[in-house]
Amino acid sequence: MSATDERTRADLSTQPAPPDGGDGSGSGGGVTLPRLGPGGWLRYAWRQLTSMRTALFLLLLLAVAAIPGSTFPQRSIDAARTAQWITDHPTAGPVLDRLGFFEVYASPWFAAIYLLLFVSLIGCVLPRSRIHWHQLRARPPRAPRRLERLAAHREVETDETPEAVLERLRTTLRGRRYRVHAHDASTLSAEKGYLKESGNLVFHLALIGVLVGVAWGHLLGWKGDVILPVGQTFANTLSRYDTFSPGPWVDVSGLDPFTLRLDRMHVEFESDTTGRGQFGAPRDFDATTTFTDAAGQAREESIRVNHPLETGHGTVFLLGNGYAPHVTVRDADGTVIYSDATPFLPQDNFYTSVGAVKVPGADPDQLGFAGFFLPTGVIDDQRGPHSVFPDTLDPQLALTAFEGQLFPSGAPQSVYTLDTEAMTPVPGKDGADQLRILLRPGQTYDLPGARGSITFDGVERFAGLSIRSDPGKTLTLVSSLLALAGLVLNLVVRRRRVFVRVSAAEGTGRTVVSVGGLAKDDDEGMDDEVDAVLTADEGHR
Amino acid sequence: MNDTLAQISSYSVYSAIVVLFLALGFYALYLARVARAGEAEVEAAPERELVAAGGTTSSVGTDEPVGTDEPASTGGHVGTDAATQEPARARKAAGIAWTLTLLGTALVVAAVVTRAVEVARWPLGNMYEFAIVGAMFTLLAYVGWSSRRDLRWLGAFVLAPVLAVLGSAVTVWWTEGSALMPSLRSYWIAIHVTVATMTVAVFTLGAVIGALYLLQDKRETSGGGGGRTAFMSRLPSARALERLSYSAHVVAFPMWTFTVIAGAIWARQAWGSYWNWDPKEVWSFVIWVVYAAYLHARATTGWKRQNAMWIALIGFGCVILNFAVVNVFFVGQHSYSGL
Ligand code: HEM
């Protein structure tokens, strides 16, 4: 670090200056602390931050810091599981929560690591880019005095004149893609493999592009989910989404006004193979829709997994599916007070689904039904109502009924669960304290008292659609491909220097040709390279 | 028809296990025989020195059997013409091992191909298939690389992990052939999963050679020769091993980078978002960062090559974890183990 001490005061501005090499060959990494003013300290800190050791340390730290995100449930991925985990671990849960373990990739400490890493990277790469820029236009350096000291070296004698030998070797080297320069009449200096460093710099700079692309998508991207039963139409406005999460900079009033009608939903499950984990596994999901764009042009579109629909400003993905039993509720006079396809959310691989039917129009008390839809239903004492196959082999609706106030506080609530705070269970006919209803399609159940009836008309499928926009994705993709290209160049290309010196052999009138080769890092092929340069020469003779 | 194919596929895997196990035995025998010859040579050397010191004749030793006439080559490293110094019995063991390896590789290839025909799709849909295809690529990489340089010393160390994987495949990971779930139905499976599996094969070679490097390095610095590590004398020098391991990693790292990029492109198609910090994505990222750290450590002056190699081995630990643990025990979208 002594170089830092020797800088004059004029250098010690408050702006940290870039390190001179940046390759962090780090002469000991500052074991002796320099005596410096505040500017000097800044410079010192900057030098440490942009050293290769620090980059290495931060990389390892980043790897370690990413791990908890896979071992603890993450709120952004599965909020319910996260909440459950915290409830199950009353001591550790809240502490880990405060420390950000359930939002690792949005936590300040994770951000601190990668931001420091990128600052380090910029501080490292910019000066190196400048140096490389100059090197690209510089001549290969002068041949060292003693070529035999280089890693690879050969010497031969020939009858030809020094000029002829130099001329031929120059051609050979050029043919081998060397940049050749003669600093004097008896030597050649040649260098190749500049692309190695170019590749390295492209790689590191492109990583910055990846980060910017990710950030851009985060700030200006949005996503919304909607559950759409067959036959229904979705209009792309904010209020039609079940959930909508915009990035901080998104203008939510600017959604383009397309509509999407779900015409058919084709679903296939494995029923042939009975092997472990295979029976009932999903095989094909295909939503046939009518898409009407903002200009009013309608066309049929099939949305499948791996085959999303591009709408222009967003992309529609088919991410889920399930069942929406069609339920009709009548009052005591037989007047229909509720009739709708009501989506129930699948809970397991066999589509045991939960949901609620809310009938605010019932009189005198509002009615609510909560329970399960089972595509292939089984009810046993141990597990209660559950499904044993995801397709509708024996669809059943198992409900309990409540009466009272559906929306006591007026606060928004989930359409899939019943808030029974201000409700009481409807008693069973035979004196049981809770009415349990089991319906198959077409069946009607007469509610006790003058409460009317409930009919399970049939079942429709629904498509779980997610509509998303990520304006940063192209930048991220292009940058990552550039990074890959740079990386390959960096790892494949070899930076090599070859020097030639000719001199007259004593007395014989012959010419001594001395060729030395030098490579960046260890390069097993350097001896062969020097041989090849020389034998090309001999072959010419 | 499909049942027949399924049976052929299973039989191929089982026969491959038997054949490769034999090959492993012969490779071990090869190392043992070379080591024994090496030890004999070490014992013979002082005697010869004594005679030489006596100054009686300078031609002592020239009529010794082939393989012990070059005291300078005790190390028996590749590049010092190792082949010519081996006892014939060792060479024979290696020859048999090589033939068996080729046969075993062919059997694994056959198992994969018949499985693919049986299920009528790309054979990379569950852990069983990942495992046998991974074993196949590892064997192919070893066989292919062997045609360019003498890697007989490496055989035993490659076959051991391959056998472990094949053994696990037929016991714990076995899954009946079946169709794919919708998210896997995409041409990206042929790109992303194939390259991922190939990469793991190359990482395996890099890690095996890297571990041998650390052993050899320890042996060289402690000056140890005989005993249980005598077979190491047949291996290349620590420096050469380190370079070999590095070159495997240099091939594997860009492949892994590509795997992650391809996975992200596919993730957007299938799941709607190119990066979701799903456990599998987390670990792919961790692996990438750890190997990037290895390459950095190796390029950092002042960092010991041994320490850099340890980072690479940690990276390989993460690769194993990503396959054997994350696939089975972590909750995420990559639930394709078929278990
Ligand atoms: C996001 C952070 C970074 C990542 C993922 C990363 C990754 C890599 C990778 C994969 C290589 C190729 C390895 C090779 O050439 O063998 C590399 C090389 C290199 N990196 Fe980084 N790097 C990062 C940050 C940095 C920083 C902050 C510095 C400067 C202190 C730096 C300096 C270098 C240098 C000098 C090389 C060339 C080494 C050589 O081949 O001689 N990198 N980096």
pLDDT tens digit string along A119-169? 999 999 999 999 999 999 999 999 999 998 998 999 998 888 999 999 999
At residue B224 the predicted structure's pLDDT band, cuts being 50, 70 and 90, is low
Q: Which of A51, A53, A204 to mutate to test the pocket of ligand 1 (most atoms within 8 A of CB)?
A: A204
From the CA of B171, how many Å to the nearest CA of chain A?
Answer: 13
- Is the pLDDT at B279 greater than 70? The verdict is yes
Q: Is residue B337 part of a domain?
A: no
Q: For B210-230, what is the mean pLDDT? A: 82
Residue A109 burial (10 A CB sphere; 0-12, 13-18, 19+): exposed
Q: Is residue B237 part of a domain?
A: yes
Q: Is residue B211 part of a domain?
A: yes
At residue A19 the predicted structure's pLDDT band, cuts being 50, 70 and 90, is very low
Instruction: Enumerate the residues of chain A whose CB falls inside 8 A of the CB of residue B273.
Output: 223, 468, 470
The answer to whether B60 contacts chain A (CB < 8 Å) is no
- Is the pLDDT at B182 greater than 70? The verdict is yes
Q: Is the CB of A55 under 6 A from ligand 1?
A: yes
Q: Is residue B189 part of a domain?
A: yes
Cross-chain residue pair A24–B300, CB shorter than 8 Å: yes
In this predicted model, which residue has the larger pLDDT, A411 or B174? B174
- Give tens-digit pLDDT for B280-309: 999 999 999 999 999 999 988 888 999 999
In this predicted model, which residue has the larger pLDDT, B125 or B194? B194
Domain that holds residue B123: 2-329
Q: What is the pLDDT of residue B78?
A: 39
At residue A12 the predicted structure's pLDDT band, cuts being 50, 70 and 90, is very low
Q: What is the pLDDT of residue B238?
A: 93
* Average pLDDT of the residues of chain B: 83
Nearest CA to ligand 1 atom 30: A52
In this predicted model, which residue has the larger pLDDT, B119 or B18? B18
- Is the pLDDT at A532 greater than 70? The verdict is yes
DSSP B107-156: HHHHHHHHHHHHHTS-S-SSHHHHHHHHHHHHHHHHHHHHTTS--GGGHH
Q: Is the CB of A52 under 6 A from ligand 1?
A: yes
- Is the pLDDT at B65 greater than 70? The verdict is no
Q: What is the pLDDT of residue B331?
A: 65
- Is the pLDDT at B76 greater than 50? The verdict is no
Q: How far is the CA of A47 from the centre of ligand 1 (A)?
A: 16
At residue B332 the predicted structure's pLDDT band, cuts being 50, 70 and 90, is low
* Average pLDDT of the residues of chain A: 87
Q: How crowded is residue A388: how many other Cβ atoms within 10 Å of its Cβ?
A: 16
At residue A51 the predicted structure's pLDDT band, cuts being 50, 70 and 90, is confident
Interface subset of B 271-290, CB within 8 angstroms of A: 271-279, 282-283, 285-286, 289-290
Least confident of A156-165, A440-449, B224-233: B224-233
- Is the pLDDT at A48 greater than 90? The verdict is no
Cross-chain residue pair B283–A276, CB shorter than 8 Å: no
Q: What is the pLDDT of residue B38?
A: 64
Tell me which residue in B257, B272, B297 faces A317 most closely, judged by beta carbons: B272
Atom of ligand 1 nearest to the CA of A52: 30
Q: What percent of chain B has pLDDT over 90?
A: 58
Residue A23 burial (10 A CB sphere; 0-12, 13-18, 19+): middle
Q: What is the pLDDT of residue B264?
A: 96
Instruction: Enumerate the residues of chain B whose CB falls inside 8 A of the CB of residue A223.
Output: 272-273
DSSP A338-381: EEEE--BEE-STT--EEEEEEETT-SSSEEEEEEEEETBEEEET
Tell me which residue in B243, B258, B270 faces A484 most closely, judged by beta carbons: B258
Least confident of A265-269, B74-78, B150-154, B196-200: B74-78
Q: For B317-336, what is the mean pLDDT? A: 79
Q: Is residue B225 part of a domain?
A: yes
- Is the pLDDT at A97 greater than 60? The verdict is yes
Q: How far is the CA of A204 from the centre of ligand 1 (A)?
A: 7
Q: Is residue B339 part of a domain?
A: no
**ipTM score of complex:** 0.84
Cross-chain residue pair B243–A524, CB shorter than 8 Å: yes
Angle at which helices A108-137 and A52-66 cross, to 10°: 140
Q: For B154-183, what is the mean pLDDT? A: 90
Q: What is the pLDDT of residue A231?
A: 93
Q: How far is the CA of A483 from the centre of ligand 1 (A)?
A: 11
Least confident of A39-48, A270-279, B177-186: A270-279
Residue position matching structure tokens 């950092």: B300
Q: What is the pLDDT of residue B39?
A: 61
- Give tens-digit pLDDT for A255-279: 888 999 999 999 988 877 655 556 7
Q: What is the pLDDT of residue B333?
A: 59
Q: How crowded is residue B99: how many other Cβ atoms within 10 Å of its Cβ?
A: 13
Q: For B121-138, what is the mean pLDDT? A: 93
Instruction: Enumerate the residues of chain B whose CB falls inside 8 A of the CB of residue A488.
Output: 254
Q: For B198-226, what is the mean pLDDT? A: 90
The answer to whether B206 contacts chain A (CB < 8 Å) is no
Q: How far is the CA of A488 from the centre of ligand 1 (A)?
A: 13
Q: Is residue B309 part of a domain?
A: yes
Give the range with max mean pLDDT: A69-78, A115-124, B54-63: A115-124
Cross-chain residue pair A481–B261, CB shorter than 8 Å: yes
- Give the residue among B94, B81, B184, B166 at the shortest CA–CA distance from B129: B166
Q: Is residue B338 part of a domain?
A: no
- Give tens-digit pLDDT for A166-202: 999 999 999 999 999 999 999 999 999 999 999 999 9
- Give tens-digit pLDDT for A420-442: 888 999 888 777 778 889 999 99
- Is the pLDDT at B36 greater than 60? The verdict is yes
Q: CA of A403: how far to CAs of A78, A362, A397, A430, A447, in Å?
A: 32, 9, 19, 18, 12
In this predicted model, which residue has the larger pLDDT, A223 or A364? A223
Residue A240 burial (10 A CB sphere; 0-12, 13-18, 19+): middle
| Structural domain count, chain B | 1
At residue A220 the predicted structure's pLDDT band, cuts being 50, 70 and 90, is very high
Q: What is the pLDDT of residue A52?
A: 86
Q: Are A328 and A439 in contact (CB under 8 A)?
A: no
Q: What is the pLDDT of residue A22?
A: 37
Q: What is the pLDDT of residue B155?
A: 95
Alpha helices in A429-515 (DSSP H): 473-492
Q: What is the pLDDT of residue B305?
A: 93
In this predicted model, which residue has the larger pLDDT, A259 or B41? A259
